[in-house]
């Protein structure tokens, strides 16, 4: 937001003034948003866990409630969420 500067004073280092209330406009960096990386992480982890969940139909792990197949539906959930994030935050070429 644009605000009239009320006063100037040094910004914590004593070297050079800075505006008291004005917020600097962010530079246009074309940085890949962090949400894309979140999506990639969830997608890859989701696919690995989903594959494991499918494998567990024939080789169930010795865990409590293994009959609910948590790896299968949790892997599917991560794959879905990760895929959505990757799709929506895919880096666009300028």
Partner 1 sequence: MNLSLSIPAAMLWFATAGSGPAVQHLIALHWPDLLIMGFYFAMVLGIGVYLKRYTRSGEDFFLAGREMTAWVAGLSFLSANLGALELMGWAASAYQYGILATHWYWVGAIPAMLFLGIVMMPFYYISKAHSVPGYLQLRYGESTRALSAISFAFMTVLMSGINMYAMALVMKVVLGWNIHFSIWVSSITVAIYVALGGLFSAIFNEVLQFFLIWLGALLIPILGLVEAGGWSGLVQRIHQNFPQGDYTHLWRTMGHFADNPMGIHWTGIVFGLGWVISFGYWTTDFLVVQRVFAARDLRAAKMAPIIGSFFKMAVPFIVILPGLLGLGLLNFKLLPESAVGPGQHSYNEVLPLMLARYCGPGLLGLGITALIAGFMSGMAGNVSAFATVWTYDLYRPFIHKGAADSHYLKMGRWCTILGVLISIGTAYVVMQFGSIMDYVQALFSFFIAPLFGTVLLGMLWKRTTSAGGFWGLLSGSASSIAMFLLVKFDHNMLAYIALSSHAKDMAENMYRALWSWMICVIVTAVVTAFTKPKPVEELVGLVYGCTKLPSEGHLPLWKRPIFWAGVSLAVFLVLQWIFW
Which residues of this chain interact with partner 1, rule CB under 8 A? Answer: 1, 3, 6-7, 9-15, 18-21, 23-24, 26-27, 29, 31-32, 34, 37-38, 40-42, 44-45, 48-49, 51-53, 56, 61, 63-66, 68, 70-71, 74-75, 78
State the DSSP H helix or E strand holding residue 19, giving kind and residue range, or none if neither.
Answer: strand 17-19
Find the shortest distance in angstroms from Cβ 40 to partner 1: 7
Cα separation values, 31 from 24, 82, 94, Å: 18, 19, 11
Distance CA 73, CA 49 (A): 9
Find the shortest distance in angstroms from Cβ 60 to partner 1: 8
């Amino acid at each position: 937001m644009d605000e009239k500067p009320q006063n100037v004073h040094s910004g914590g280092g004593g070297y050079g003034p800075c505006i008291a209330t004005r917020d600097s406009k962010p530079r246009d960096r074309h940085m890949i948003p962090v949400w894309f990386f979140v999506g990639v992480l969830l997608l890859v982890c989701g696919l690995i866990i989903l594959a494991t969940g499918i494998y567990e139909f024939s080789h169930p792990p010795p865990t409590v409630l293994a009959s609910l197949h948590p790896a299968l539906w949790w892997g599917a959930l991560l794959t879905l969420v990760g895929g959505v994030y990757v799709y929506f935050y895919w880096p666009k070429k300028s």
